[in-house]
Structure 1
Amino acid sequence: MENILVAGANGTTGRKIVHLLNTSQYFKPFAMVRKKEQIEQFKNQGIGTVLADLEDDISHATIGMDKVIFAAGSGGKKVVAVDQDGAKKLIDASIQSKVKKFVMLSSLGAENPNEAEDLKEYLQAKHNADEYLKKSNLTYTIVRPGSLTDEKGTGTIKLEKKLMEKGFISREDVAQTLVRSLHDDAAVNQTFEIIEGNELIGKALDKVS
């Protein structure tokens, strides 16, 4: 089993990722949390935790980890400090720890933030983090979903390297896509966009693998 660090584990999407990993036969999740009081909920489920704040030194966070999922977000409050610089710090730590794969949760629109009508600062931060990851020597997958919903997942998506439309997608289906992207042969050094659709997630990922 591979040890997977989940940054943003306490977020809405992050908790779904951790749950999926915890039921996987391939992966063992480690929830990266910012506050000591967040440890208990994961401990109760038998899930390991790493105490680390993306705004501080996080060089210890990736020690002993095989792969990383970055699903953290500031909710628009500290986009440069968390979404951009926090991601960069975790990428640096991953390089030091010789992490085998880094899976980034990005956003639709991060390719060309200047074209966005709103959320420009957020999309620019995501863009900068994505570019930093691409230029690192890490094996990566960058997943750019449309607007996230709390609807039940369908297990199906629409995936393209560049979608010609905006759209919505459930957090569950995003979590599933991120976890599947952890596999060694899935979407290696690829960036792609996803919204709700009719293609099975595994089959959709084959297109970029």
Structure 2
Amino acid sequence: MANVLVIGATGQIGKQAVVKLLDAGHKVKAPVRSPDKLADIKNDNFTVVEQDLEKDFSQHFDDVDTVIFTAGSGGSTGPEKTLLIDLWAARNAVNYAKESNVTTFIMVSSIGAGDPDAVDSEIKPYLVAKHMADEHLKNSGLHYIILRPGSLLNEPGTHLVSTEVPTDKNKAVIPREDVATALVEATSRVDDTNVILHLFKGDTPIAHIF
């Protein structure tokens, strides 16, 4: 059992990850702007605290084993919020985790974040923010797991993935539920080597990629 801090717990991936982490027996803490969005999750091992990620949230990292960062500004916001949440809040979370001697930091990134210049898309500012957050984590000295899922789908997960980037862009997709499952499996990973993994629909059980 781990003490897990989930940053971004009200998001579509984050909330599913919280439920799955609790089902797996972990203790979960979630600092969120709107606690009422998690009111339907009832578990003695779940703590919700009200928190704005644009302010100091360092106090939530005490006694935490694993940090999961899956917060995002959302598709309806502009570059300003992308900068403040996807980059700056992620950067701050990494710094707070290091100061608190957190064991593992798991970052939900994105396909394309490895080389934003290679992507001709209107979401390039988002990919740049993700790239810089990933680089900060990689250079932090923390043990890290970076997940770079493809385009996200709102459909049931299959618990089967591929970590190979498909040549057909139409196949570079994955259900949000499978990303949430991957976060739980990553939390239980015993290998302490750092890793960056892409995630797409595939044929390999999620547990086997860690």
TM-score (norm 1): 0.90
Q: In 2, Cα distance between the equivalents of 1:186 and 1:34?
A: 33
What corresponds to 2:110 in structure 1? 107
User: Quick one: which amino acid aligns to residue 17 of structure 2?
Assistant: I
Q: Indicate the larger mover: 134-143 or 59-68.
A: 59-68
Q: In 2, Cα distance between the equivalents of 1:21 and 1:60?
A: 22
Aligned to 1:16, the other structure's residue is in SS state: helix
- CA-atom RMSD in angstroms: 1.7
Matches within 5 A, 1:1-209: 1-25=1-25, 27-38=26-37, 40-42=39-41, 44-46=42-44, 47-76=46-75, 77=77, 78-118=81-121, 119-160=123-164, 164-166=167-169, 167-186=172-191, 188-205=193-210
User: Quick one: which amino acid aligns to residue 136 of structure 1?
Assistant: S
User: Cα deviations across residues 67-109 of structure 1 (Å, max 9, x unaligned)?
Assistant: 1100100014211100000000011110111100000000000
User: Quick one: which amino acid aligns to residue 185 of structure 2?
Assistant: R
1:61 Cα deviation (Å)? 1.8
Q: In 1, Cα distance between the equivalents of 2:147 and 2:21?
A: 17
Q: Does structure 2 retain, via aligned residues, the 8 Å contact 1:55–1:82?
A: yes
Aligned to 1:6, the other structure's residue is in SS state: strand
User: Cα deviations across residues 20-50 of structure 1 (Å, max 9, x unaligned)?
Assistant: 001013x2111221135446444x4442123
Q: In 1, Cα distance between the equivalents of 2:34 and 2:60?
A: 14
Unaligned ranges ≥5, structure 2: none
User: Quick one: which amino acid aligns to residue 80 of structure 1?
Assistant: L
1:51 Cα deviation (Å)? 2.7
| Equivalent residues, number | 202
TM-score (norm 2): 0.90
Q: Does structure 2 retain, via aligned residues, the 8 Å contact 1:181–1:187?
A: no
User: Quick one: which amino acid aligns to residue 13 of structure 1?
Assistant: I
Q: In 2, Cα distance between the equivalents of 1:71 and 1:2?
A: 18
